[in-house]
Structure 1
Amino acid sequence: MLKEFKNFIMTGNVIEFAVAVIMAGAVGLVVNGFVNDIVMPLVGHFAGGVDFADMKTVLSPAVIGADGVETSPENAVRYGAWINTIVNLIIVGFVMFILVKAYNKMKKPAVETAAAPAGPSQEELLAEIRDLLKK
């Protein structure tokens, strides 16, 4: 069983998959950085100086004790972070679209097969039917 597992792990597909997962994680970090550090500040600037990451609806505020220590954390719906995530998804989807489109362009074009010979036209078929009916 150990030998079978070793053979399975050492196949090219598993290694390629592992590399793809690691690369996806790295690309995800790059895209998150791009969205959070470049795109969202620009969107916030053009939206009137709004920082989407800070947008939230507080359900219950944080409780701070007499000694200044927070005894109960704030409970809030952070819809601004969700907006950032949606923008991130749109950017990732667009980048993947561009990559797939470029990949498809780079692939060798399929060999065009000879066009099928054109069949008889509708008028020719009707004439044949007419001639057969006359007989």
Structure 2
Amino acid sequence: MKAGWISAALLGLALSQAVARPLEPGDLPAVRAAAATGSAAARFDLGRMTRQGIGVARDPVKACALIASAAEAGHPEAMFTLHYMLAAGEGCARDEAQARGWLERAAEREHPEALQQLAQYLQYGTLGYAPDPARSAHLMAVLAHAMKHHPHAD
């Protein structure tokens, strides 16, 4: 069982490198235009750019608001990112309960990184979760299945 969990974790880490496309300062006009039309993916990208200071001044508060807007519109990667921001209090008030909620919503959508992160929190009992190795192992199996049968692409 442990080897399977580790294999799934490594698979999740490999996929995490491909989930969010790289952004460059030259992308800003197109991203802003798409965000203005209501695109959740573009709002997420604009939030990422604002969070990292790519083509715009770094502004964690504005980034959190943009990413939250994309998450509320159902964007799984935004949900996952918002969970991290809430857990760390980055650009918003630190709120573990909300962080758990957004992480679980992303995991319900079979977002690979969310499944992996939730499994780790459950394995070690962090972010306010009680340790639950059985559920952790189940989530890693879901991750492996999701990656095999439903490639994640945003």
**TM-score of the superposition, structure 2-length normalised?**
0.28
Larger helix share, 1 or 2: 2
Structure holding more strand per residue: 1
TM-score, normalised by the number of residues in structure 1: 0.31
Higher relative contact order (CA 8 A, sep 6+): 2
